[in-house]
Amino acid sequence: MNTLKEDGSGILGTVMRLGKRQIMGLCGASVLVLNLAYAQPTANERVFFEAFELLRAGNAYQAAQKFELGLSREPNDAKAWFYLGEAYRELRDRQKAYDAYKSSIAADSSGPVSSSARQRMAEVAPSPPPIGSVVPSSQSLIDETSSGYKLAQRKKCFACHTVNRKLVGPSFLEVANRYRVAPGALDQLTRKVIEGGSGAWGPVPMPRNPQVQFDESKALVSWILSL
């Protein structure tokens, strides 16, 4: 993807069509300052712009959600993939950041953002274990004698979840990686355990659990987010 295509597409083309505004974007050491007046942006272009503004304001979790929404509709925007990687990097999710940078390069392997994406990939890539070492699974790193684990057992949480792999619902580690630093996540998830919900992890809804008391739910969520 060229940074500024002739047809004005791409994330910077999005910025150019936002009307008379001054917008600053940071990519590596380059600062882009635009003060331009163009046609009204499409709905998806606004999604990318809002995501970029959230990331610039320090709201990495909400920015990642916005970028993912926009990329589900326009999966070939290398710049958007790069900034999704930046959001996950801020959230300390190295694997998702690595995957996003990789997708950025795949979308435009010779474009101006590709060199930055390659540099970021090198920074967040997991280090290989020493030759001959035994790598413990994430399940083995969980203290099964902890009060949180035992509470999850008593409340039958393991009927739908495991610690490190998807079952009926997401693994606890997936939940932790998504919500660990999200503002208000503890209260939000505490209510969701009791009230149930749908849409956050695919088509399978989470059933209500009225037998779980509020304090128990909060303790469960606190344990999950600590993983």
The pLDDT tens digits for 81-102 are 999 999 988 888 888 888 889 8
Domain residue ranges in the chain = 11-124, 147-225
Q: Which helix (H) or strand (E) holds 216?
A: helix 214-225
3-state secondary structure of 22: strand
Mean pLDDT of the chain: 77
Chain position carrying tokens 């600053």: 24
CATH code, 147-225: 1.10.760.10
Residue 34 has pLDDT above 50, yes or no: no
Contact between 11 and 86 under an 8 Å Cβ cutoff? The reply is no
CA distance 194 to 131: 46
Chain position carrying tokens 């495991």: 162
3-state secondary structure of 78: helix
Tokens of 175: 């939940």
Pick the range with the lowest mean pLDDT from 8-12, 124-128, 214-218.
Answer: 8-12
Please report the pLDDT score of residue 21 as a whole number. 39
Contact between 221 and 186 under an 8 Å Cβ cutoff? The reply is yes
Length of the chain measured in residues: 227
Q: What percent of the chain has pLDDT over 70?
A: 75
| Residue 120 neighbours by CB under 8 Å, 6+ apart | 82, 85, 86, 89, 97, 101
Amino acid at the residue 86: E
How big is the CA angle at 114 (ends 56 and 15), to the nearest 5 degrees? 40
Please report the pLDDT score of residue 67 as a whole number. 92
CATH code, 11-124: 1.25.40.10
> 203-217: per-residue pLDDT in tens?
788 889 999 999 999
Q: Which helix (H) or strand (E) holds 13?
A: helix 11-16
